[in-house]
Structure 1
Amino acid sequence: MSEPLRADAARNRAAILRATEELLTSSHPRQISMEQVAAAANVGKGTVFHRFGSRDGLLHELMRERARDLEIAITTGPPPLGEGAPPRARLLAFLTAVVEVVARNKGLLAALGTGAPGAGAPKQEPREEHPVYRSWHGHISRLVHERRPDLDADMLAHVFLATVHSEPILNALERGDGDRLDRTLRDLVTGLMPE
């Protein structure tokens, strides 16, 4: 377990991640430099490199941070994402939340999913070995199994998650089709888990 950051280090980290998010609203991740991030966060370039190692390291941490927010919602948040709702309702809410995260971060996901990692970036690993993927997969599997133990919950979880990582889906999200993807996933879930 890592030690908590000093107050100034925590403020700098938050400012850097906020600045990166702001820059991502108008630029593709590969167009953003560490110098731009440092200037937008009002910190030295060395601080950005020290904290994140490289642009790829920064982008990975930003994606982890966004995924962590969803993890908190499903473990300690209110229903339907959190405990207390039936499995079908929780799965529907979770898939909607995943579509929102992916739709907001499609450029970031595309940048993280392609090309060789730069110096200092985390080593590319098979998607199914990534902690976020494993967490999301486990959550979907449990919900499917609770409601429909007769189905292959493990494979269904992979199928649901594969949809939000495929190139045609990312292209559709780029065109603003997040609601369409959400409706389609809802149709699949309600077909598999009728009330």
Structure 2
Amino acid sequence: MERRERADAARNRQAILRAAEELLRRHPPEQVSVERVAAAAGVGKGTVFHRFGSRTGLMLALMAERARELEQAVAEGPPPLGPGAGPAERLVAFLAEVAALAARNGNLMAAHEHAIVTSKSAAEQPREANPIYVSWHRHVSGLIAEGRPDVDAEQIAHMLLGTLHMEPIAGQLRAGKPERLAAGFAVLIRGLLGEGGR
């Protein structure tokens, strides 16, 4: 019985995430409510809240699914994204992948931003508390510190990642155009860390 309940819960979770993803493909983010997701997934609204806590939690879970592959590549994939390359080369590759991920998931990122902004607990849970952001910030600041131990790596990492949420950068990403941002990141990183890390 317990195994069947766990299987049902896992099935419901995947159905909810698939429904949210499909709705985000077809509708503006502000129109993708918990009610619509529940109806599309064939579950009750309470099931969505029980599984994800809130609309923000649902969007965060969907973003986490998309970010997991990138995190695996960073941890154990081939260089330059994975271990084995210099800090500048790894950072250029990572930020290019982040830009590409954001461009492929423009509506999802916009929906997540909308959920955070409209959440009652937004002041208590800032963007910087997002586990994906925390992980990305740790990786970026670590590579900066490795290449330039004389600078404030944590602050510079916030500055770099913060550009993903600024217009007109966010507009370019929503339009599916990450190349310009990736090229700009490369110029900044190589200027900061030098060519020796390539």
Q: TM-score, normalised by structure 2?
A: 0.80
Percent identity, aligned pairs only, is 54
CA-to-aligned-CA distance 1:14-46 (integer Å, 9 cap, x gap) = 221122112211212221233432343344444
Q: Is the 8 A contact 2:34 2:48 kept in 1?
A: yes
Provide the C-alpha distance between the structure 1 equivalents of 2:163 and 2:28, rounded to a whole number of angstroms: 22
**AA paired with 2:51?**
R
**AA paired with 1:24?**
L
Q: CA deviation at 1:164?
A: 0.8
Q: Is the 8 A contact 1:80 1:93 kept in 2?
A: yes
Alignment pair present for 1:194 and 2:195: yes
Alignment pair present for 1:116 and 2:114: no
Q: CA deviation at 1:109?
A: 2.9
Of stretches 14-23 and 125-134 in structure 1, the one that deviates more from structure 2 is 125-134
Within 5 A, what are the aligned runs for 1:111-190?
Answer: 111-114=111-114, 115-117=117-119, 124-190=124-190
- Which residue of 1 is the match for residue 50 of structure 2? 50
Provide the C-alpha distance between the structure 2 equivalents of 1:32 and 1:113, rounded to a whole number of angstroms: 13
CA-to-aligned-CA distance 1:83-103 (integer Å, 9 cap, x gap) = 222222211111011112222
Structure 2: gaps of 5 or more residues: none
Provide the C-alpha distance between the structure 2 equivalents of 1:166 and 1:147, rounded to a whole number of angstroms: 26
Q: Relative to total residues, which structure has the larger helix share, 1 or 2?
A: 2
Q: TM-score, normalised by structure 1?
A: 0.81
| 1:78–1:7 Cα change, 3 Å | farther
Q: Aligned Cα RMSD in Å?
A: 2.5
Structure 1: gaps of 5 or more residues: none
| 1:127–1:77 Cα change, 3 Å | same
CA-to-aligned-CA distance 1:40-88 (integer Å, 9 cap, x gap) = 3344444323212333331122123323333232223333222222222
- Which residue of 2 is the match for residue 71 of structure 1? 71
| 1:12–1:80 Cα change, 3 Å | farther
Provide the C-alpha distance between the structure 2 equivalents of 1:170 and 1:148, rounded to a whole number of angstroms: 28
SS of structure 2 residue aligned to 1:164? helix
Of stretches 43-52 and 83-92 in structure 1, the one that deviates more from structure 2 is 43-52
Provide the C-alpha distance between the structure 1 equivalents of 2:145 and 2:185, rounded to a whole number of angstroms: 17
Alignment pair present for 1:37 and 2:50: no
SS of structure 2 residue aligned to 1:139? helix
- Which residue of 2 is the match for residue 11 of structure 1? 11
Alignment pair present for 1:94 and 2:94: yes
SS of structure 1 residue aligned to 2:165? coil
CA-to-aligned-CA distance 1:158-189 (integer Å, 9 cap, x gap) = 12111112132112223333111111111212
Q: Which has the higher contact order (CA 8 A, sep 6+)?
A: 2
| 1:123–1:155 Cα change, 3 Å | closer
Provide the C-alpha distance between the structure 2 equivalents of 1:6 and 1:84, rounded to a whole number of angstroms: 40
Q: Is the 8 A contact 1:117 1:124 kept in 2?
A: no
